[in-house]
Structure 1
Amino acid sequence: MKIRAGYRIAFDCQNPMPIHLMLSVHPDRRHDLITPDTLRVDRPEARITQLVDGFGNLVTRVAAPAGPITFASDFEIADSGLPDPQVLDARPTAVEDLPADVLPFILGSRYCETDRLSSVAWSRFGQIEPGWARVQAIVDYVHERIEFGYHHARPTRTAEQGHEERTGVCRDFAHLAVALCRSMNIPARYCTGYLGDIGVPYSPSPMDFSAWFEVYLGGRWMTFDARHNKPRIGRIVIARGRDATDVAITHTFGTAWLTHFEVITEEIPAQALMAAE
């Protein structure tokens, strides 16, 4: 399967400022790129550099001039076309045996307050067999607990607040599921990326980036999605971190007004591929 994806995001900067972007396809999927995922900027005087952060994500740093600036990319990527794998017999790894790079993902973080959700987690899921079944029970609970709606979005909502308010967007589903997993010593990390309407009914809502999470089971990271609660096709990961703080797609260090936001994620139909050939 081939997928076309990309974005067009514009700001009006009130003064010269640094802008950090986390919009590039993650390094572990870049070998699947068919056409380059290259950032285009309409202000040639903007100075651009790129680095890899402590979580292995690609970060683009822009020294933006005052005034309007637009960032864009449009690329094609190969995908297996298979849904998220399910390994129902996956077992947990004891905390004392976790690799060093996994340890940060059993701790509380800005949006995932394990200290405030631990009693909820153990009272609801403590009797469920550790491993895949326990994580799936958490996913089921979060999926039913939170009502999705873009009008519910709030950038400061934490996992505990999402649990109590019972409303949110995809990041709130991910934060609550991550916090409940970590409360039970299950390593979990927050993910952001592209997820189009592939293999599911078309949604008329504007396309956006999506959030899901990964859990360390059976010695590797596995994908879960509390918002959709079903295996999906065509995820393209951009970044992973402890929570949304680590993977903000844009971070402006000054006053900048968002003037345009557009995301594209769609399967390239087989007939289009044949015509191109």
Structure 2
Amino acid sequence: MTEFELQLGLDYEVADKATLILNIAPARTAAQIVTGESLSLFGAEHSDWYTDRLNANRFLRINAGKGELSIEYACRIALAADFTPIEQLGERSVADLPVDTVRFLLPSRYCQSDRLGEFAQAEFGKLPPGHVRVMAVRDWVRKHVRFQSGFTNPSTSAVDTLVDRRGVCRDFAHLMIGLCRALSIPARFVAGIDYSDGPRDDPMDFHAYVECWLGERWYLFDPTGLCAVTDLIRIGTGRDAADVAFASIFGAVKCAAPRVEMRRVAGTTPVPLPPTHGASTSIHALGDLGQDVEAARPVRLMPGAIAA
């Protein structure tokens, strides 16, 4: 396993009263073990945690009055990916798919697969089904969409990105998801952390990936090509970005840029994706599913205190 330490800082100015719902705590899965967490809140009147039973995402709800609000979250994570030879990663017919994957075939707010069918079939319909076809979709998005910050907005959809050919990781992911669903391949949105070893010119930030159901599991793909899928720290999973926004704000609030820091723990090394293999980190630990976090919590959480 590779171990990471993650620190997040969020700063807000609340004009009056406001409620914020934050999706910032990494998911607890069999492949991603959260070994310790801490949370500090300054300016909050009340907070509680809850778990989305459908996707097992963890949310922090904060009620705040007028003034400054600051959130400091930190955790330590052990991550292990499972690798499968790509010849085993075939597509399954809709009739044979597990029932809980079927909803990821359907159009969603930002992934209008019902409007992408003709294009997807013309571009990818004659390719061999399975990993080869999914990689062709990923590579097409990577080649034809230019990464450009500030061009798109929170309302930009997969169809918009197909037309404009510009966007950020969220837009790349939505387009790949929409095209895969149009080919009857279940696909879903993964929100995580943009991590890479070594110096970088841009600040560390949240990142968006794609998972497709191939063979018997979900497998990771990054249409932007910015990060290694084996270093993805999973925060949330859903149909599209609407399910995993890192902050949903109800009230008049000014936001500063998030402060994100992640480091690989000394003595642990990167686990590269083996050639001709797919990577998966999707399986949830049984004890983490469908179990709500208690509403009442101290502001300071001891290592391992948050349950999901």
TM above 0.5: yes
Q: Aligned residue for 2:275?
A: none
Tell me the alpha carbon deviations over residues 88-129 of structure 1, each in whole angstroms, 9 at most, x when there is no partner. 121112111222211110000110111211111000000101
Q: Aligned residue for 1:188?
A: 187
**Over the residues paired in the alignment, what is the CA RMSD in angstroms?**
2.0
Q: Aligned residue for 2:86?
A: 88
Distance 1:242 1:254, change over 3 A: same
Tell me the alpha carbon deviations over residues 145-199 of structure 1, each in whole angstroms, 9 at most, x when there is no partner. 111122334221111111111111100110000000000110000000113113x
Offset, 1:26 = 0.6
Distance 2:227 2:25 in 1: 26
Equivalent residue of 1:233, what SS? helix
Q: How does 1:134-173 map to 2 (within 5 A)?
A: 134-173=133-172
Distance 1:231 1:151, change over 3 A: same
CA contact (8 A) 1:55 1:240 kept: yes
Q: Aligned residue for 1:6?
A: 7
1:233 has 2:234 as partner? no
Q: Aligned residue for 1:212?
A: 209
1:70 has 2:103 as partner? no
Offset, 1:35 = 2.6
Name whichever of 68-77 and 114-123 sits farther off.
68-77
CA contact (8 A) 2:194 2:227 kept: no
Equivalent residue of 2:29, what SS? helix
Identity %: 30
Distance 2:85 2:193 in 1: 23
Offset, 1:233 = 3.4
Moved over 3 A (4+): 84-87, 229-233
Letter of the 1:249 partner, please give it. F
1:222 has 2:219 as partner? yes
Segments of 5+ residues of structure 2 without an aligned counterpart are 269-308
Name whichever of 259-268 and 112-121 sits farther off.
259-268
Q: Aligned residue for 2:55?
A: 55
Distance 1:202 1:118, change over 3 A: farther
Offset, 1:232 = 3.4
Q: Aligned residue for 1:203?
A: 200
Q: Aligned residue for 1:23?
A: 24
Offset, 1:76 = 2.1
Offset, 1:87 = 3.5
Equivalent residue of 1:102, what SS? helix
The aligned length equals 265
Q: Higher helix share goes to which structure?
A: 1
CA contact (8 A) 2:32 2:78 kept: no
Equivalent residue of 1:7, what SS? strand
Equivalent residue of 1:39, what SS? strand
Name whichever of 23-32 and 211-220 sits farther off.
23-32
Distance 2:194 2:145 in 1: 20
How high is the TM-score relative to the length of structure 1?
0.89
Equivalent residue of 2:35, what SS? coil
Offset, 1:259 = 2.5
Offset, 1:7 = 0.8
1:266 has 2:263 as partner? yes
Q: Aligned residue for 1:256?
A: 253
Offset, 1:75 = 2.1
Q: Aligned residue for 1:243?
A: 240
Tell me the alpha carbon deviations over residues 44-78 of structure 1, each in whole angstroms, 9 at most, x when there is no partner. x5211111112111111111222210111122222
